[in-house]
Structure 1
Amino acid sequence: MSDAPLILWFRRDLRLGDHPMLTAAVASGRPLVPVFILDPETEALGAAPKFRLDLALAAFAATLARHGSRLILRRGPALPVLEALVAETVAAGVMWSRSYDAAARDRDQAVKAALKARGLLAQSHPGSLLFEPWEVETGQGGPYRVYTPFWRAVRGRPVAEAAPAPATLPAPSVWPASERLDDWQLSAAMNRGGAVVAAYQRVGEDKALTRLEEFSAGPMAAYAADRDLPGLTRATSGLSENLAWGEIGPRAIWHRGWRAMAEGNAGAETFLKELVWREFAWHLMYHYPQLDRASWKPGWETFPWRADNSDAEAWRRGMTGEPFVDAAMREMYVTGRMHNRARMIVASYLTKHLLTDWRVGLQWFADCLTDWDPAANAMGWQWVAGCGPDAAPYFRIFNPAGQAEKFDTDQSYRRRWIAELTRHPGPEAQSYFAAVPRTWQLDPARRYPLPRIDLAEGRARALAALQQGKT
């Protein structure tokens, strides 16, 4: 029956444009019932990602309302929730955009099999990536293991144009009941930090598209050089936040970047390479599902990492005594994001100078980043720790002081985030102390801590541990 609705199961694809699943659903001519399910996989998100999801869902619900539709919210395991919705709406089936991590794939395969067994439409679509992970292969037929060959392989591949958002979405004659977003309390774990972090979020599809245009029209030209300078506040696009929740599609970014490159924009190709770095992370996670749990390189599970420890706790609190490291950790706690150069520095410091297991850092990022991306987070941590997909050896150890001298020459980044290092700290440096848990008992009036470890000593200890782990 053509009037039987389709249930559109939204996940990390909270937009209307550049949306293959939605385009196919509108083309069917059926009434559409957009749904978001707070399933166990989503319940397991960390505090900051769940907080950012709360904002994203509210914005997406408002967008749908402007298009004559609404977002139905349900809580529980995906399959029984979908089966109940199918029964309530007499739906013809369910559509969704694909996910590529192991837990989501298992969930989606079970849903598809069960729905098809009942004679229902169960259809998945691409959405979050430029290329499906199984479509890009080496000459030998396997997955890529190194980024540069991967970039060369995809650089010239055709990418479908980003379809525009539909003007309206056909609604069912009767809407199923919806839970209330406020009742889910997705922001509760942020406690008092939520109000601080909220000021730095640009939520929703409209703001994501505006962000892309603003970046393309200005900062993109100097991106190749400026992207490494954390003291510059507008040198990067900031789109990681929106990509993480699907508020903008990768095809829209890809084609905007290529257009800029054709217009002679000097930074466009470097920017596109960063988009493909995200793509490479998902390529790896699809083919190596344990990427966020087990060392990617063989033999690294015997490396003598330290478990969680007091040094790691000082690192989490931005109190290591290394100003570049602490500035970055505080930036993350205040804004929900961290400059990419700084991410490499803090990860190297934790895993090498402090010899702490990379999974300790990975989990803290997963709890604190509003732009948390499971594949990019896992690949980034393993890449820096030395056990991941990178041709560089373990003894690449970033020196925080040397990195600060090179990339924060005027100390603007450190002064922006560390109140104890300046006589008159700015509001952002002070806001860190308004965001952290009261149990940490941090006070900007206290003396800044001495370094946890001498940098040369830490480097030597890391190299000795490498030798021990390889013998």
Structure 2
Amino acid sequence: MTPLIVWFRRDLRLDDNPMLAAAAATGRPLIPVFVADASVTGLGAAARWRMGQAVESFAQRLAGQGARLILRRGPALTALLDLVRETGAQGVWWGRLYEPQTRDRDRLIKDTLRTLGIEARSFAGHTLAEPWELRPASGQFYKVFTPFWRALQGLGVAPPVPAPARLTPPAEWPGSEDLASWRLGAAMNRGAPVLARYAETGEVRAQDRLARFLAGPVARYATERDFPALPATSGLSENLTYGEIGPRRVWHAAPQGAGGETFRKELAWRDFAHHLMFHTPHLLTEAWRPEWAGFPWQGESDATETWRRARTGVTLVDAGLRQMYVTGTLHNRVRMVVASYLTKNLISHWKIGMDWFADCLTDWDPASNAMGWQWVAGSGPDAAPYFRVFNPDTQADKFDKSMAYRRTFIAEIAPHPGPEARAWFEAAPRAWGLEPGQPYPRPLIDPAQGRLRALAAYQAFRARAG
């Protein structure tokens, strides 16, 4: 009955955690561990802060079960080997992730441990299905969502596993570092207290959030999810990002009917992104479609900085960017509009936007973020045609006609600015020199003119490509 190290990464929950359930079933003493290696310290500012909140909440959750979360910092292999030596553990288990760097790290750890005679096992749990489980008859992986969706339905999603009834502690706990000393939120500066007002951190709050969604909004999800002022979405993206709730738990909780079906499709889109990242890891760094490699995207400019600062003069774009900066999340419909404006109206490289989102989103997910930006830009899988340009004014008139959403986040156009609109000036860097009393800017570029410029650039690119 030697101890077993259970290494948590983005699965910070007790419920629906296949790795933890299997480990607890052995009856062996369990040593829960979280390691702050480069995959943690290299996160963007908001995601790193939110990871710290998730780790703190999970540590409290484990303490309620009579266990501890041991914290170590540094290269994961070094930290795990140190713990094996200190505790006499004969096994290290973890839940799988699918980023290329993470897979390389985990492969090295698994090979090293097994060479030393230490059991090393990885488990599913971060996605509905493993990326290699869905395979078309004509190829190695799916490149289009609709057949992927059909295949996932045909395969079926495994039922969630309940939280273990008991976690056996070791005879002696190893030493642990202090989470506060890691200063995971340091890069947020004055923005951290603002984000804290909107984050719903931890497993208990994630389950409460799911229950609230199922109690009402899910029934209207299919018809109302595109309206950003309505409370029609689940808000679970941040909890799924850190594994505070399991995707299989969410999938099986969704009811039958149009709302539940549409909601499950969104969960499947998340799986599709991870499926593509696994099979085509260049999704994260370069144009997924090779024919787009030579497109003349513009780089950093005054325009891209104006976009970052949410001062484009286009209300739906600015409202979305401010929502992201204040709350750490961004409504999905508005995400597409914000991304389209940068990549098509400004013809700026999608990597600029992808990197900004990575720095500002608390629900940042590497696969979903990269696929979403490339989808809008036209260079990605299942992409919208390049000539399909979101007109932000038309989108605003269709999905925010009353201006309720835009006035929530833009103080300059609101008769009586609310807390979210005021929080933007509280969270924005002082160096930006923004004040609530400033007039709202004129449009950086007219959306109709921006669309024509984008189409001209695309046509010229096609002509040069032959």
- In 1, distance between residues paired with 2:259 and 2:321? 28
- In 1, distance between residues paired with 2:113 and 2:156? 33
Matching residue within 204, 207, 218 for 1:206: 204
Look up the SS of the partner of 2:282 in the other structure. coil
Residue 160 of structure 1: how far off its partner (Å): 1.9
Match of 1:13 in 2: 11
Match of 1:389 in 2: 381
- In 2, distance between residues paired with 1:329 and 1:141? 39
- Do residues 249 (structure 1) and 246 (structure 2) align? yes
CA 1:435/1:111 → structure 2, altered by over 3 Å: closer, same or farther?
A: same
Look up the SS of the partner of 2:34 in the other structure. strand
- In 2, distance between residues paired with 1:270 and 1:422? 33
Matching residue within 433, 436, 441 for 2:425: 433
Match of 1:229 in 2: 227
Residue by residue, what CA displacement relative to the aligned partner does 1:349-401 show, whole Å, maximum 9, x if unpaired?
00000010000000000000000011000000000000001253111100000
Structure 1: gaps (5+ residues): none
- In 1, distance between residues paired with 2:407 and 2:189? 26
| Residues 14 and 246 in structure 1, CA contact (< 8 A), matched pair in contact too | yes
- In 2, distance between residues paired with 1:422 and 1:91? 60
- Do residues 326 (structure 1) and 318 (structure 2) align? yes
Q: Tell me the TM-score normalised to structure 2 length.
A: 0.98
1:38-437 correspondence to structure 2 within 5 Å? 38-232=36-230, 234-257=231-254, 260-261=255-256, 265-390=257-382, 392-437=384-429
- In 2, distance between residues paired with 1:353 and 1:397? 8
- In 2, distance between residues paired with 1:448 and 1:71? 48
Look up the SS of the partner of 1:34 in the other structure. strand
| Residues 425 and 436 in structure 2, CA contact (< 8 A), matched pair in contact too | yes
- In 2, distance between residues paired with 1:20 and 1:123? 12
Look up the SS of the partner of 1:291 in the other structure. helix
Alignment RMSD: 0.9
| Residues 408 and 414 in structure 2, CA contact (< 8 A), matched pair in contact too | no
Amino acid at match of 2:272: F
- In 1, distance between residues paired with 2:60 and 2:295? 50
- In 2, distance between residues paired with 1:426 and 1:23? 45
Residue 424 of structure 1: how far off its partner (Å): 2.1
- In 2, distance between residues paired with 1:159 and 1:136? 12
Q: Comparing 172-181 with 149-158, which one deviates more in the overlay?
A: 149-158
- In 2, distance between residues paired with 1:240 and 1:458? 31
- Do residues 444 (structure 1) and 441 (structure 2) align? no
Look up the SS of the partner of 2:258 in the other structure. coil
Amino acid at match of 1:368: C
Look up the SS of the partner of 2:238 in the other structure. helix
Look up the SS of the partner of 1:123 in the other structure. strand
Amino acid at match of 1:180: D
| Residues 146 and 391 in structure 1, CA contact (< 8 A), matched pair in contact too | no
Residue 289 of structure 1: how far off its partner (Å): 0.7
Look up the SS of the partner of 1:51 in the other structure. helix
Residue by residue, what CA displacement relative to the aligned partner does 1:255-278 show, whole Å, maximum 9, x if unpaired?
111xx11xxx43000000000000
| Residues 17 and 165 in structure 1, CA contact (< 8 A), matched pair in contact too | yes
Q: Tell me the TM-score normalised to structure 1 length.
A: 0.97
Residue by residue, what CA displacement relative to the aligned partner does 1:159-214 show, whole Å, maximum 9, x if unpaired?
22111111221000010000000000001111111101111011111111111111
CA 1:403/1:441 → structure 2, altered by over 3 Å: closer, same or farther?
A: same
Runs of 4+ in 1 over 6 A off after TM superposition: none
Look up the SS of the partner of 2:77 in the other structure. helix
| Residues 13 and 244 in structure 2, CA contact (< 8 A), matched pair in contact too | yes
- In 1, distance between residues paired with 2:173 and 2:384? 56
Residue 131 of structure 1: how far off its partner (Å): 0.7
Amino acid at match of 2:248: R
Q: Comparing 30-39 with 450-459, which one deviates more in the overlay?
A: 450-459
- In 1, distance between residues paired with 2:372 and 2:416? 35
Amino acid at match of 1:398: F
Look up the SS of the partner of 1:159 in the other structure. coil
CA 1:52/1:391 → structure 2, altered by over 3 Å: closer, same or farther?
A: closer
Match of 2:28 in 1: 30
- In 1, distance between residues paired with 2:133 and 2:20? 22
Amino acid at match of 2:220: A
Residue 422 of structure 1: how far off its partner (Å): 2.4
Look up the SS of the partner of 1:267 in the other structure. helix
Amino acid at match of 1:307: G
- In 2, distance between residues paired with 1:107 and 1:382? 26
Amino acid at match of 2:233: T
- In 2, distance between residues paired with 1:144 and 1:49? 29
Look up the SS of the partner of 2:305 in the other structure. helix
Residue by residue, what CA displacement relative to the aligned partner does 1:8-51 show, whole Å, maximum 9, x if unpaired?
11000000010110011111111000000000121110000001
- In 1, distance between residues paired with 2:243 and 2:415? 42
- In 2, distance between residues paired with 1:455 and 1:367? 26
- In 2, distance between residues paired with 1:397 and 1:235? 25
- In 2, distance between residues paired with 1:174 and 1:469? 65
Structure 2: gaps (5+ residues): none
Look up the SS of the partner of 2:290 in the other structure. coil
- In 1, distance between residues paired with 2:412 and 2:184? 33
Look up the SS of the partner of 2:212 in the other structure. helix
